[in-house]
Amino acid sequence: MLMGMVTFTAAVTAVQRYPHAQSKDIVVFAAVSLKGVLDEVGERFRRDTGKGITASYAASSILAKRIENGASADLFISANPGWMDYLEQRKLIHPWSRSDLLGNKLVLIPPAANRTVRLVIEPGFPLRTALDNGRLAIADPASVPAGMYAKAALENLGVWPAVASRLTVAENVRAALLLVAGSEVPLGICLCHRCCDRTRCPGHWHATTRNIPANPVFGRFDRDSANPDAATLLVYLRCAVARATFQKAGFRVV
């Protein structure tokens, strides 16, 4: 793994729904890296409370822009505090509701077919040499949290200049994962999940690195939201059942 902690923050949005868009479900906009584990927590939440969740997953930057443009959401979970700041400055979330929720790490991974890559993540490590004639897949470092963290980590390690021209930029971290899964690139950087740890990666890929530093942030909850059940969900995300699910999936609960 690449050394680096990713911190996730949660909060309530100040965007009000239009009457025709009202729904019994709690509308959640969440960073795409939460896909899977949040679906699992949401299903447990539905069984425990009888309340449903409709989740929309995308890069935090895309979700923030959607909220700015008037999209209806009850809860925003962002993988970067900068996009939370962006909405707060525009009075589109309630500052009092903002809090860190989860943490994670970045990993450097090869395709399943390539079990020979062995890299020690340290200052000046030979990442460019390991790419050979291939490219490094990362989420967009200009706007997507996972890509921003990846760039920052590689800059801190002193290897960013050597690989900056050898990138395949993906829309989000899951898209970067798919590029590696399909052997379209020799290496990629993603978030560490339940199936992407020191011995396995999504699709049974082999992780060859140690730890990278980074920080994801998750959402906000709006007390004045048109859907009062959002407050119930926000509390539930911090309960013992949800915490255990997040931890089992490889997230650090903060």
Domain extent listing, the chain: 2-103+215-253, 104-191
The answer to whether domain 2-103+215-253 and domain 104-191 are alike in fold is yes
Give the pLDDT band (50/70/90) at residue 162. very high
Query: What is the SS3 assignment for 190-236?
Result: EECECCECCCCECCCECCCCCCECCCCCCCEECCCCCCCHHHHHHHH
pTM score: 0.71
Q: Is the per-residue pLDDT at 101 higher than 90? A: no
Q: Where are the strands (E) in 154-196, listed by range?
A: 167-170, 187-191
User: Among 55-69, 105-119, 125-139, where is mean pLDDT lowest?
Assistant: 105-119
Mean pLDDT of the chain: 78
pLDDT tens-digit profile of 235-244?
899 999 999 9
What pLDDT is attached to residue 236? 92
Q: Please state, in angstroms and as integers, the Cα–Cα distance from residue 179 to each residue in 128, 136, 148, 187, 204, following that order.
A: 18, 10, 18, 9, 14
Q: What is the mean pLDDT of residues 151-161?
A: 92
Question: CATH top-level class for 104-191?
Answer: alpha beta
Specify which of 61-65, 119-123, 247-251 reaches the highest per-range mean pLDDT.
61-65
The per-residue pLDDT for range 13-60, each reduced to its tens digit, is: 765 554 434 457 899 999 888 989 999 999 999 999 999 999 999 988
pLDDT the model gives residue 11: 62
Domain 2-103+215-253 class, CATH top level: alpha beta
Residue 75 has pLDDT above 60, yes or no: yes
pLDDT digits (tens, 9 = 90+) for 196-226: 443 334 333 333 333 333 333 334 444 444 5
* Predicted local distance difference test score (pLDDT) of residue 230: 79
